[in-house]
Copies of this chain bind each other. A is one copy, B any other.
């Protein structure tokens, strides 16, 4: 199927928008009128530019409040329409969108609406244009798709059809099954948008909070199935009004958009993508740092041993249990030091995982890091984190471990079993994209997004996990674009006894994040503890959470560069990440930063 995107979904000038859409692989665009008006390019130049880029102009949207109005007003509308149809001829666009009227002058008269739309279609035909009539969810008299279709059917004009928009249909809770009763050839266009399920004024919801399919709460795929069953064979076109996308760079937004359509096409059986290959575990986490010393000290105190070093690069492998941390002092990194740069994911089929990622527009990273290294399949996540797909079971190509030479020191251990989860700070403009990426590309499940109060603004946090918990990644985003780099990433290490692990860490000279005494007074009010238990937690800065399924105990190291570690102990079926304790942890981290000026 052909794919298209409305220019209003992307930021920048019309030229930037067209370039971004073409680069992301869209077949066409809907040109939003304001983008054309504000462009210094003539319609002919826009047409030529689209042709050069391989983009068709699938829709133009210059008309509002056209139909079901008094004759004098309709005459003015028709005059205006002639101008616009002439423009469309210059532009080479053959379908015009007409939304149901919101004018206070519109009358509730379907026969009049049909008659005037028919006359509009007569005029359009003179210019080789066809009219797609769409019900706005807040249309004055016509607000449902079946009503718009009845008017189109009444008009019975060959140049008049209907346009369906998933937002307008699903935001009203209309049943999309009725779409199958519309003859496919009379569905002139299909606009797609998802949206989070918000209880708010539908116009504001539509204008500010739309998102790409799969990023909201609507069953967009279900609707598309009905439209395809009706026989529609036009493009799938995204029309997304979103305050964040308006600010984001057009290039990444266009890729995000196209990926969402590819996943949608897969869901409805119209795209054959390589099967998802769900990762089974975390092979390694790679930290990049200009100065290994502070990290090395931290890892040693946590009980890690430097078990191997890379044969060709300044990369050390630190191990403990199933937790493997690479410390890479090679790449130039920013002054603020250590950061989590790459994740190795154990995969039952690394090549297959990479094929799917590539098909879903993830940038594929150079395969070989040096001639003698193992061939590692790697792609970049939207936040720039490198994801390496590693054979987990010893089969297939030689694993990444073969690139490392043993130091001969065994990993004795300080009680860490493995990596519980990784927490990654996301670029502000691409949080929803990140969740869709991890879901669609890696086949992970996305949990609900939660708000967390930081002293300097709310954070949002969302976990993406494999079904068995082998891979858990927590995506976090700050309150504003400026916060992109404020919040550190972290590696949470699983332990069976967080008290013992924390003690060992402290005895080895590790610095634990101090937690205020008031927090423990509150724990005492909320829960009952065994004799001395709370004092132990207070002493070590261990936080405590409990849900219906189990208990979660966790504590934090001091931050090095932009990275810190967490020690966690999960008991029972506890599935969260201690979000209830996050405000206290964040405040403590700000307090420490304030003290050290770091």
Report yes or no: A482 in contact with B481, Cβ–Cβ below 8 A: yes
Number of identical protomers: 2
Of chain B, the residue at the smallest CB distance from A197 is B201
CB distance from A562 to the nearest CB of B (A): 20
| B243 near A518: Cβ-Cβ < 8 Å | no
Q: Mark A1-13, 1 if CB is under 8 A from B, else 0.
A: 0000000000111
- Inter-chain CA distance A39–B519, complex, in Å, is 9
> Is A402 an interface residue when CB atoms closer than 8 A count as contact?
no
Binary flags per residue of A508-528, CB closer than 8 Å to B gives 1, else 0: 000000101111011011100
A480-504 vs B, CB cutoff 8 Å, 1 = contact: the mask equals: 1110000000000000000000000
Chain B residue nearest in CB terms to A17: B455
Instruction: Number of A interface residues at 8 Å Cβ cutoff, please give it.
Output: 54
- Residues in B neighbouring A591, C-beta threshold 8 A: 13, 40
Which one of B12, B481, B583 contacts A38 once the chains associate, using CB atoms below 8 Å? Answer: B583
Q: Does A49 contact B (CB under 8 A)?
A: no
Is A37 interfacial (CB 8 A cutoff)?
yes
Q: Which of B87, B204, B246, B594 contacts A479 (CB 8 A)?
A: B246
Nearest Cβ distance between residue A463 and chain B, in whole angstroms?
22
Question: With A and B bound together, what is the CA distance between A591 and B79 in angstroms?
Answer: 31
A12, A482, A518, most chain B CB atoms within 10 A: A518
A217: Cβ under 8 A from any B Cβ: no
In A164-211, the 8 Å CB interface with B consists of 198-201, 204
B-side contacts of A42, CB under 8 Å: 517-518
- Alpha-carbon distance between A200 and B199 when the two chains are bound, in angstroms: 5
Q: Which residues of B contact A455 (CB under 8 A)?
A: 11-13, 38
Q: 7 A-B contacts, Cβ less than 8 Å apart?
A: A11-B455, A12-B456, A37-B516, A40-B516, A199-B201, A243-B457, A247-B456
Besides A13-B591, A34-B583, 9 other A-B contacts (C-beta < 8 A): A33-B522, A34-B584, A37-B583, A40-B514, A84-B525, A246-B453, A247-B479, A480-B480, A481-B482
Q: Report which A residues bind B (CB closer than 8 A).
A: 11-13, 33-34, 36-43, 62, 79-80, 83-84, 87, 198-201, 204, 243, 246-247, 453, 455-458, 479-482, 514, 516-519, 521-522, 524-526, 583-584, 586-588, 590-591, 594
